Chains A and B, each alone.
Chain A
Amino acid sequence: KAGVTQTPRYLIKTRGQQVTLSCSPISGHRSVSWYQQTPGQGLQFLFEYFSETQRNKGNFPGRFSGRQFSNSRSEMNVSTLELGDSALYLCASSLGGQAYEQYFGPGTRLTVT
C-alpha cells in the first residue's frame, strides 16, 4: 500500500507571496492532519480534516488555511508569507474513526526569503 505523499518536496518563496501544499493520504484513510516542524518549536499541529470538514485547529494565524477534497486529498495554503514560516510542513493521515495512529508523509520543505 502506498504511503502518504506530499508535493512539492521543496519550495522557495519570497516574503509576501502565498503557497499551496498538497497531501495525498494512504488509501482508505479519511483523516488528514497538518503539522509545522521547526528546530525551535518542534512539531506543532496546524489543523485536521475529516470527510472534507475541518474538525480541529491549532493555534496558528488565519494566514494558514486548508481544505480537503472528496477523495480525502488535502491542501494547505499559507498567504502573505513571512520569514518565520520557513519550516518543514508535514501531513499525516489516519483511518479516522477509533484509530488514532497517524502516518506521516515525507514533508514539504518551505524556505521563505
Chain B
Amino acid sequence: QKEVEQNSGPLSVPEGAIASLNCTYSDRGSQSFFWYRQYSGKSPELIMFIYSNGDKEDGRFTAQLNKASQYVSLLIRDSQPSDSATYLCAVTNYGGSQGNLIFGKGTKLSVKP
C-alpha cells in the first residue's frame, strides 16, 4: 500500500514567520512531488512541484526533496494570514504521463496576525 504521510496539525505560526510543512512517502519509486493548497470549501490549488533532489524556490515558497530519506517539505517564508489553509502533499511514481496522484491527508496551517 503506497502511502503519503503528513502531520495533520494544526500548525500555528505567527505572521512573518517561516512555516515548515513535512511529508514522507513509502514508495521508493515515487518520481514527482506536488504541494497543493486547499482553502476551506474550495478545491486544491497547485502551488509547487519538484522532481529532482534538492531545493526549488518560487517566491515565498521553497520545496525540498530528499529521495534517499523519502521526504519532501514545503517552507513558506514571511507567512501571511492568507496562507492559512490545508496543505496537501501528493506524489506519483509514474515515469510516463499517467495521472495517479497519491495524496496525504493534509496539514492545516494557521497563521496568526
Chain A residues packing against B (C-beta within 8 Å): 31-33, 35, 42-45, 48, 50, 55-56, 58, 88, 90, 92, 94, 96-107
Contact = CB atoms under 8 A, between A and B. Distances in A.
B57 to A, nearest CB: 17
Contacts, number: 70
Contacts of A42: 88, 103-106
B22 interface: no
Contacts of A100: 32, 34, 49, 92, 94, 97, 99
Interface of B: 32, 34, 36, 42-46, 49, 88, 90, 92, 94, 97-106
Contacts of B105: 42
A48 B94 CA distance: 13
Given A42-B106, A43-B88, A90-B44, A102 B97 contact: no
Given A90-B44, A106-B42, A106-B43, A45 B102 contact: yes
A48 B103 contact: no
| Most central of B99, B100, B103 by chain A CB within 10 Å | B99
A22 to B, nearest CB: 15
A107 B101 CA distance: 17
19 contacts: A31-B99, A33-B99, A42-B88, A45-B101, A48-B98, A50-B97, A50-B98, A56-B99, A58-B100, A92-B101, A96-B97, A96-B99, A100-B99, A101-B34, A102-B101, A103-B46, A104-B46, A106-B42, A106-B43
B101 A33 contact: yes
Given A42-B104, A42-B106, A43-B88, A104 B99 contact: no
B43 A107 contact: yes
Contacts of A88: 43
Contacts of A96: 97, 99
Contacts of B90: 43
Nearest to A96: B97
A99 B100 contact: no
Nearest to B105: A42
